[in-house]
A and B are shown apart, each in its own frame.
Chain A
Amino acid sequence: MGALDGKVALITGAARGQGAAEARLFVERGAKVMLTDVLDEEGKAVAAEIGDSAAYMHLDVTSEQGWKDVVAATVEKFGKLNVLINNAGIITAPKEVHETSLEDYRKVIDINQIGVFLGMREVVEPMKKDGNSSIVNIASIDGLIGMYGASAYCASKFAVRGMTKVAALELGKYGIRVNSLHPGGVQTKILGDIGISEEQADGAFKSTPLGRIAKSEEMATLAAYLASDDASYSTGSEFVADGGLTAGFALEG
């Protein structure tokens, strides 16, 4: 399937979880991918497993210089850059707002929010040159509704959703589309950080309409859609894949 033929994608936080699934699927569908993360061992292993169409580079998304280096290296290696998946993110242990330290709050904002701001800013030049580009910002259902004990995480994800719309307004004229992707529960290691073990994960999402947690691959297919020319008239909008979690509430058993 060549839906992503001609695409060169930079994916942050791609050493594992959803980012790694995106890297694998994108190459399978014809793209070249620059994987980035702070987990260098794991990132290199994923890139090696994918093969020649993939490469790995260290990128802490909070580092302005790091972004410049990675964008330049991607263009040098693959000739262009026309897809960015801002996927890197963290969540901290649940804490009510009055127990949340400023330090913890800033850490989440730095990675989840400032990281996305920097990424969008740094890819504009190469994307302008390409003229047919797509930025996909991984927000969350926590960018649509609240989650108890997650004031910093929700703040960062709502901010990503808002910035996505402004960037869409500003960058449309350069042929750059910008959308946000809102996963519900996805079986990845991040859930461990809010105290949900791998065995508990599926059960935690039993009460959603589809009655199960998602696999990373089910987010990768949505990211692939938004990266592809199939999504040519979509920009500034939210794309939700949450098994129906945010569809509403039920009064029935």
Chain B
Amino acid sequence: MNNLQDKVALITGSARGQGAAEARLFASRGAKVVITDVLDEEGKAVAAEIGDAAHYIHLDVTDENSWAAAVKETVERFGKLNVLVNNAGIVQIKPLVESSVADYMKVIEINQLGVFLGMRTVAGPMKDAGGGSIINISSIDGLIGMSGGTAYCASKFAVRGMTKVAAMELGPDNIRVNSIHPGGIHTPMITQTGMDDSAMNDIFGKVPLGRVGQPEEMATLAAYLASDDSSYSTGSEFIADGGLTAGFSLEG
């Protein structure tokens, strides 16, 4: 399936986890991908493994100047930029009453301002390319609450909201903007919290599909939104959560 043939995608936070899975899948479906992250070693390794269709650039998503430079380098190298996946993010579990302003702002800076800067920076080049697709990785925590996640939920709800505004403003330039809402996904974000596979299965075994999601299963959704198959979707939420937010059960 080569439905990303004419796409040039910049993916943030793609040194590992979902971003790396997206980079691999996009390239395998014909796209050129620019892998960006703050983890330079790992990011370069992913790009090298993919080959000529991939290129790594250091990009801290909170840095306005780095955004401009990364977008410029992408267009110079691959001729255009028509897909952006705003995937970089961090999680923080801290009760509201124990959260300092610094704690809170750290999450907002990366998860929320990073997305704002990304969308703003690519709008021009995407218009030049005749249109494009911006995919913002929110979370189920952009749809429902998670205890201990004041900053994280705030940032992910904000991404969901900004997505809709950007869709309205950029639609006339044929730039589509949608959000993806992953449920529990087996990536370093979760494993780093010290959760092992059995603990993960205890938690996510309760969702209707009975298992945790894999990064490759988010990459296929991102690929759909990046492709022309999704040509009439903009400003909307795309959920892949194994049914976690579908409802609750009173049965065993």
- Residues of A whose CB lies within 8 Å of any CB of B are 1-3, 165-166, 168-169, 171-173, 177, 184, 208-211, 214, 218-219, 221-222, 224-225, 230-244, 246-248, 250
Contact = CB atoms under 8 A, between A and B. Distances in A.
A221 B230 contact: yes
B247 A240 contact: no
A168 B246 CA distance: 7
B232 A232 contact: no
Contacts of B172: 209, 211
Given A1-B3, A246-B235, A248-B168, A234 B221 contact: yes
Contacts of B164: 247-248
Nearest to A185: B232
Nearest to A249: B168
B168 A244 contact: yes
A250 B243 CA distance: 33
A243 B183 CA distance: 25
B235 A248 contact: yes
A248 B245 CA distance: 23
Contacts, number: 133
A71 to B, nearest CB: 23
19 contacts: A168-B246, A169-B243, A169-B249, A172-B210, A173-B210, A209-B168, A210-B174, A210-B232, A218-B231, A222-B229, A224-B229, A234-B241, A235-B243, A237-B239, A244-B235, A246-B235, A247-B167, A247-B168, A247-B235
Interface of B: 1, 3, 164-165, 167-168, 170-172, 174, 176, 183, 207-210, 213-214, 217-218, 220-221, 223-224, 229-243, 245-247, 249
Contacts of A177: 209
Contacts of B176: 210
B245 A237 contact: yes
Contacts of A234: 221, 238-241
Contacts of B165: 247-248
Contacts of A224: 229
Contact of A233 (B183, B223, B230, B249): B183
A166 B208 contact: no
A210 to B, nearest CB: 5
Contacts of A237: 238-241, 243, 245-246
A145 B160 CA distance: 18
Contact of B207 (A172, A209, A232): A172
B232 A235 contact: no
A231 B234 contact: no
Contact of A241 (B1, B174, B213, B230): B230
A232 B220 contact: yes
Contacts of B214: 233
A247 B224 CA distance: 19
Contacts of A208: 171
A244 B209 contact: no
Contact of A172 (B3, B224, B243): B243
B221 A250 contact: no
Contacts of B239: 234, 237-238
Contacts of A243: 171, 232, 234
